Amino acid sequence: QQQVKQSPQSLIVQKGGIPIINCAYENTAFDYFPWYQQFPGKGPALLIAIRPDVSEKKEGRFTISFNKSAKQFSLHIMDSQPGDSATYFCAASPPTSGTYKYIFGTGTRLKVLA
């Protein structure tokens, strides 16, 4: 019940394409869902995050879609660029009062071809 399942494991798209990365969770009490971008040898960088009371959130070329009833959320990257090639992690925060320890998905390695 504490897992976050992320798919696909890897993804290759052409420049300008819209890669979509999906995550699913089981615990309905999770209340915060961030996405992180990680380049090789670097720390994860917060991209965008959403709470369950919102179905969609956009920040620049990044969009989160959230389906509370299906317990799924996804990241869409509009007009993808080679510089977006990185590993993307979704996460969820379990319902422990005052403690936002994230549970991370296993990551999606994205490659955007020029």
Partner 1 sequence: NAGVMQNPRHLVRRRGQEARLRCSPMKGHSHVYWYRQLPEEGLKFMVYLQKENIIDESGMPKERFSAEFPKEGPSILRIQQVVRGDSAAYFCASSPRQTFYEQYFGPGTRLTVT
Say whether residue 34 binds partner 1 (CB under 8 A). yes
106 binds partner 1 (CB under 8 A): yes
Instruction: Give per-residue burial for 32-52: e unless 16+ CB within 10 Å, then b.
Output: ebbbbbeeeeeebeebbebeb
Please choose, from the candidates 105, 104, 113, 48, the residue with its C-alpha nearest in 3D space to the C-alpha of residue 76.
48
Segment interacting with partner 1, rule: CB under 8 A, options 14-22, 30-38, 64-72, 76-84: 30-38
Options 7, 20, 32, 74; binder of partner 1; rule CB under 8 A: 32
* 44 lies in the binding site for partner 1 (CB under 8 A): yes
Binding residue count for partner 1, defined by CB under 8 A: 23
Q: Near partner 1 by CB under 8 A, which window of 14-22, 39-47, 60-68, 74-82?
A: 39-47
Interior/surface letters 76-112, b for 16+ CB within 10 angstroms, e for the rest: bbeebeeebbbbbbbbbbbeeeeeeebeebebbebeb
Would you count residue 19 as binding partner 1 (CB under 8 A)?
A: no
82 SS3 class:
helix
Q: Is 62 in the site for partner 1 (CB under 8 A)?
A: no
Contact positions toward partner 1, by CB under 8 A?
A: 6, 32, 34, 36, 42-46, 49, 89, 93, 96, 98-107
